[in-house]
Structure 1
Amino acid sequence: MLPCLVHHQLYVTNQPIFLLLIIITSLGLFTILGRSISLLKWVFITFIRPSKNLIKIYGSWAMVTGATDGIGKAFAYQLAKQGLNLILVGRNSNKLKTVSKEILSEFPTTRIKTVIFDFSGDVSAGIKAVEEAIEGLDVGVLINNAGVTYPAARYFHEVDEKVWMNIVKVNLEGTTRVTRAVLPGMLQRKRGAIVNIGSGASIVVPSHPLYTIYAATKAYIDQFSRSLYVEYNRSGIDVQCQVPLYVVTKMVSEVASIEKTSLFIPSAEDYAKAAIRRIGYEARCTPYWAHSLQWFFASFLSEDILDAWRLAIGIRRRGII
């Protein structure tokens, strides 16, 4: 009887440890399972899930602001490739004509209208031109891409008031008022897609020092988009904030001296190809696959580390060692 009693006592003594091991193992398995599901979901969304038929779902016309350079111009090409007619909005009439000719040379059946709109100038006059251009048209897709930032990294007190007020006017007021001009037609037709171009400067990292006003306006774009998504999703209107990181564009080249593509820095054309596939799905997304990986890795770092990293980059670009 004594050996059996000892064995029973050992079993009772070790039972809590055994249960703890089971719990730890189970938690580990659930964590691995969760990560595996997340990975499979990311692969499906990024590489497999089909893009929506924009004409069939939303309408035959698309408007793109800031359409003469960079991401806006690349979006215009991709939309024309999808078969949509275009309303191109920009401040430079010669550039608008050039982009129109380039698109028509490749997609000759595309109908194109142009709107001269300097977002840093008379916004009311620009909005009136937009309203006249869209009258009677089935504008189903709006790409709010127009945006500006500082000419160079600066502490807030160093930025001329005219510069930061212009950023607010273009990025915040311009996007808001163009959306307000196009939205009623979408509501009447009970369909539409609004894509607002945000920035990783306000979402992926907690701060963007030395570009404070730019980051703040892009945070507004994110909140603006999310709220509109909730307001109008039941009305057949899909509102989305796209959050790119660095893309090789004229603005990025001037601000960050980035002129060549790399694994994590796509061309505007490659970004737009990925971005078109995401229209009509999530309320917020990072379309380019390498950007979403960067966002994932950034999520493991503390805000203090990310803040210090962004400040170091800003100071370096300001020319201070």
Structure 2
Amino acid sequence: MADATPPFDDVLPEALRFRSPAPLVDIGANLTHESFARGLEATIQRARAANVTTLILTGTDREHAEQAVALAQRHPGLYATAGVHPHDASRWEPTLEAAMRELHRQPEVVAVGECGLDFNRNFSTPAEQEHALEAQLGLAAESGKPLFLHERDAGRRMREMLHAWRDDIGDAVIHCFTADRETLFGYRDLDLHIGLTGWLCDERRGHHLRDLVGEIPLDRLMVETDCPYLLPRNLPAKLKGRRHEPALLPWIVREIAHWRGMEEAELARATTATARAFFRLPPGETPHDIDHEES
């Protein structure tokens, strides 16, 4: 039976077929999410067409980290992170820690995480979250790999924990930053990196970020979609299904550049250089032609 997946360029309307003036790195793409189960190959091709040449696939638990590694092994330009999200911190135990340690030895895994603290939803208790984060900070120190961190409504405690570990861990990024000025400057004092998403493009809740983007040092700023979540609300055309994807990252970069008062190409080049250095990716890497086996 023929595959009913539409051609890779038929999913996005013409108005949403952006192309970055310089190659981009999407530092947070949840391509192991079930919404990408069909048509993943086309999703990656759309990213390439948009000049989003490198994707860091987020591993939020053992299962998704292993899936991300498998995808990275199949597709040049894709890499993975491996960690346990604070929502799942209650599952942390010695067997899981051993599995994470093994994953961090894989060459495709370029960061420890997604890990951190989320005192907004508290799907795991704060104590469980702190325990799992403490263990993963230890794994980052052990492996020497950078940290991919999640924080919601826990800025003060996150800063306290990171301060205690700062001499032992290397680079760390607060991905999908949405907090306030005080929290941002606290992270700056710890010499952390900041990841920005389409939250900036949300007229309901992103206004404060527009005033803060200029306060993030350019050599500490990276960009991400966090797809399939956080679809920009101010896109110039409707998107059927409202599933975010890496091909839309140039729109986010354009918005950030606008609010920083700089050229889109300059921001694209800077964030890509920062991401390549942060994740220790090969400089100037250009993905080869990807295979055409449907995922």
TM over 0.5: no
Q: TM-score normalized by structure 2?
A: 0.36
Please state which structure has a larger fraction of its residues in helix: 1
Q: Which has the higher contact order (CA 8 A, sep 6+)?
A: 2
